[in-house]
Amino acid sequence: MDKIDEILYGFISSLGYKPALDMFEKISSGKKLRSKLILKIAGQNEQSVRLCAVVELIHLASLLHDDVIDDSLLRRGKPSINSLFGTKNAIMLGDILYSKGFNEIVKFDMKIADIISDAVCKLSIGELMDVELGASFNDDQEKYLKMIYLKTAVLIEASAKAAASLVNLDEEKYAKYGKNLGLAFQIVDDILDITGTADSLGKPAMNDFKEGKTTLPYMFLYEKLNKEDKETLKSMFKKELNKEQIAWIKAKFDEYDIIKNSISLAKDYGNKAINSVCNDDLKQIVSNMIDRDF
């Protein structure tokens, strides 16, 4: 992971613009799930490590834009780039990272470049779809699953597929693994937003609903509620919730076993990922990701 960080720093340093490098150094580094996936599939070599760096660059660019769209002041428990430097600088830094990512990916085999660039197009559509769905309370699960596939799972899918292509493995099997891992990953994040704490999340708990994200647990709950309670839940959408409102929502989650059912769906996608490949390391990634503290 340190080597990947070195390459990322080199990518931005090579552009020769210190303000961009200064902002880049303030980005909170994540767990690099996509890189770990690539290295477990393709092994550690010069090409695979550089592929990791390109994918991480693209992922970071998407997070910068995501924080601007959501007006997020925190990212992984630290001030977001838009809170530190303003939205204009955050957007432009995101554009720089995307552009540098494309500049580097075209140095790979054409097939690898096509897999990653296609994923970035879909990721951008996912971001736009997220904004559209956030305009009002959304109870359409199919639309939500399509959005999280595009916004989250597609780059994980592409990472697995590109890594498989590097070492001549079955691309489609690994793509299937990545897609289902990505869907499970996002559903788990949706659950943790509800069950976690501000300290564990690096942002306020139950923040998704306030930001206009009707995530799967809320959809599951909406299905179960009577007409009056449905209207009560919808009236809280995109609002700053007080203690009584939070308690009401959590009580309803408990009453209808919503968290348990949401975890079950995440595990279903995790099992689909596991069943698509014969790789103990990749199975462990799924287990580690799903068996987090709810």
pLDDT number for residue 19: 96
Distance in angstroms between the alpha carbons of the first and the last residue of the chain: 27
Contact, 119 vs 61, CB < 8 A? Answer: no
Element (H or E) spanning 151, and its range? none
| Band of residue 293 on the pLDDT scale cut at 50, 70, 90 | low
pLDDT tens per residue, range 181-201? 999 999 999 999 999 876 777
How crowded is residue 244: how many other Cβ atoms within 10 Å of its Cβ?
A: 8
CA distance 82 to 23: 10
**Helical H segments across 74-153, by residue range:** 81-85, 87-105, 110-133, 141-148
pLDDT number for residue 130: 95
What is the CATH topology of the domain spanning 110-294? Farnesyl Diphosphate Synthase (1.10.600)
Average pLDDT over residues 249-256: 97
Q: Which residues face 78 on adjacent strands?
A: 75
Length of the chain, please?
294
| Band of residue 29 on the pLDDT scale cut at 50, 70, 90 | confident
Where exactly are the structural domains of the chain?
Answer: 1-108, 110-294
Better-scored residue on pLDDT, 150 or 203: 150
**Which tokens go with 119?**
């994923």
Residue 37 DSSP code: H
**Which tokens go with 49?**
């490590």
Give CA angle at 68 (199, 135), nearest 5°.
Answer: 95
Contact, 53 vs 3, CB < 8 A? Answer: no
CA distance 252 to 29: 36
Q: Which of 76, 74, 1, 59 is nearest to 182 (CA)?
A: 59
The amino acid at residue 151 is K
Average pLDDT over residues 205-225: 94
Q: Would 1-108 and 110-294 be classified into the same CATH topology?
A: yes
108 alpha-carbon distance from chain centroid: 24
pLDDT number for residue 202: 67
Q: Which of 62, 91, 93, 63 is nearest to 75 (CA)?
A: 63
Task: Compute the chain's Rg from CA coordinates.
Answer: 19
Q: Which of 113, 112, 117 is nearest to 168 (CA)?
A: 112
pLDDT tens per residue, range 69-95? 988 888 877 899 999 999 999 999 999
Q: What are phi and psi of 109, to 5 degrees?
A: -55, 145
| Band of residue 180 on the pLDDT scale cut at 50, 70, 90 | very high
Contact, 193 vs 206, CB < 8 A? Answer: yes
Q: Which of 190, 209, 180 is nearest to 263 (CA)?
A: 190
CATH class of 1-108: mainly alpha
What is the average pLDDT value for the chain, to the nearest integer?
Answer: 94
Detail the DSSP E strand segments found in 23-96: 74-75, 78-79
Q: Which of 67, 4, 64 is nearest to 31 (CA)?
A: 4
Residue 114's Cβ-count burial label (10 Å; 0-12, 13-18, 19+) is: middle
pLDDT number for residue 75: 84
Q: Is the pTM of this model over 0.85?
A: yes
